[in-house]
Chain A
Amino acid sequence: MSNSKLIKLCLKNNKKAWKLFLKKYSRLIYWAINKNLARGSFNQQQNEAEDIFQEVFLSILEDKKLQQVKNIDLLPGWLAMVASNQTIDYMRRKNRIKESLVAEFPITGSQSLQEKISGQDTFSLVDKVIENLSNKEKIIISLNLFEDKTHKEIAGILSLPVNTVSTIIFRTKEKIKSKIKKMKEN
């Protein structure tokens, strides 16, 4: 059965269609939930993933969310987004996502006050370098640094040549390094 036919039958509350939908996409939804749990600043627990999975699936069913799917080819992407969204909501409700506004500078035994202060300056410097990038460059750096995306994956997302992405990442890192070096020399 094609995906578009499956969705249409699901929207008509066809039992067989929903069972097939569950069989076809349960692993993807579960994967997306676990990926988000692993990324967050909390420990992953199987029970939580299972609870969230139930919530996600039932919200798709009961809120008729499948109506929102316009492009069937992008259905896996849409499902992953819904699962990701719900995971973040779930964890916020459980007060597990910590929103720390205080700069958390990693403390090692041998660090002096001078090193701690210069560390905070370094972080502000990195922030400034990234702030001065263009929007596209910021997205590239963020996807590389925060979402662990490879150059090839970023190029795919932004429809850019891989070389362009690599150049931007390399250039930005070099800029950060040279600014840190200058700061230390001063």
Chain B
Amino acid sequence: MENDDRILQQYLQKKLKSVNIEKSKECPGTKPLLDYLAGSLSGEISLELEKHLSHCPFCLRQISIASDALSQKKKDLIPVPEKTINKVNRRLEAYLKNTTRKRKGKKTKQRFYFLAMLVFFVLSFLLPKYFAQFLVGALILGMRWSLEGKGGQTLIMVLDSLRKQSQGKNDEISNRIKNHLEE
């Protein structure tokens, strides 16, 4: 190997040992990096991202591996050991079972509040002596019923987000609304 190539090689070895692959606060996240790879960023944003990439080994690594993944052929990939797949499958099943149980529990709760609200409302007319009490009860149960639902939770999140002006929360809310509308 030529002397100059040897020097470059030594430089690389030294640099690789000392370079700090760590995500920083300035790192843009996966979406902008993927958009950059896809060529769908505007010129100005692209230039800003390149400025970051020129001194961020973490994001450079992300782009490099994403680019490899997108051009990867399935036949070149080695399979995951079966015991690992089985472990993951077991955790997957346990998680989904738990999630389904929680969702069923929530739906039962919602139905309960709805029925209770109806009963109180009817009783408010059947027992005029306690009209106000049963009506207030029906209103409270109605509020609990609406808050238990997705719409109510989304409303609370919107108000909370506006209060705290959190970007992460805003993204979560828009995803929920989008998913809700798609359903």
A binding-site residues for B, Cβ under 8 Å: 8, 11, 13, 15, 18-19, 22, 26-32, 34-36, 39-41, 46, 50, 53-54, 57-58, 61-62, 67-68, 70-71, 73-74, 76-82, 84-85, 88, 92, 97-106, 119, 122-123, 126, 135-136, 138-139, 142-143, 145-147, 149, 153, 156-157, 159, 173, 176-177, 180
The contact of B68 among A35, A54, A78, by CB within 8 Å, is: A35
Are A81 and B78 in contact (CB-based, < 8 A)?
no
Are A22 and B77 in contact (CB-based, < 8 A)?
no
Is B72 close to A, CB under 8 A? yes
Q: How many A-B residue pairs have CB under 8 A?
A: 197
Is B7 close to A, CB under 8 A? yes
Are B84 and A54 in contact (CB-based, < 8 A)?
yes
Count chain B residues whose beta carbon lies closer than 8 angstroms to a beta carbon of A.
69
> What are the 9 A-B residue pairs with the smallest beta carbon separation, nearest first?
A80-B69, A77-B66, A27-B77, A138-B54, A135-B54, A147-B64, A177-B4, A50-B84, A76-B69
Residues of B within 8 A of A92 (CB): 22
Residues of B within 8 A of A77 (CB): 34, 37, 66-67, 69-70
Docked complex Cα distance between A150 and B47 (Å)? 23
Residues of B within 8 A of A88 (CB): 21-23, 58, 61
The contact of B13 among A62, A80, A101, A106, by CB within 8 Å, is: A106
Instruction: Give min CB distance, A24 to chain B, whole Å.
Output: 9
Q: With A53-B84, A176-B8 as known contacts, state yes or no: A142 contacts B100, CB within 8 Å.
A: no
Are A100 and B17 in contact (CB-based, < 8 A)?
yes
Docked complex Cα distance between A147 and B93 (Å)? 38
Are B60 and A142 in contact (CB-based, < 8 A)?
yes
The contact of B33 among A32, A35, A81, A143, by CB within 8 Å, is: A81
Task: Across the interface, name the chain A residue whose C-beta is closest to B62.
Answer: A81
Residues of B within 8 A of A78 (CB): 30, 34, 66
Docked complex Cα distance between A13 and B96 (Å)? 6
Are B10 and A35 in contact (CB-based, < 8 A)?
no
List, sorted by A's number, 6 A–B pairs whose CB atoms are closer than 8 Å: A35-B68, A36-B65, A50-B84, A78-B30, A84-B61, A123-B14
Is B53 close to A, CB under 8 A? yes
Task: Across the interface, name the chain A residue whose C-beta is closest to B178.
Answer: A67
Is B79 close to A, CB under 8 A? yes
Are A19 and B64 in contact (CB-based, < 8 A)?
no
The contact of A54 among B15, B58, B87, B100, by CB within 8 Å, is: B87
Is B12 close to A, CB under 8 A? yes
Instruction: Give min CB distance, B123 to chain A, whole Å.
Output: 38
Residues of A within 8 A of B12 (CB): 145-146
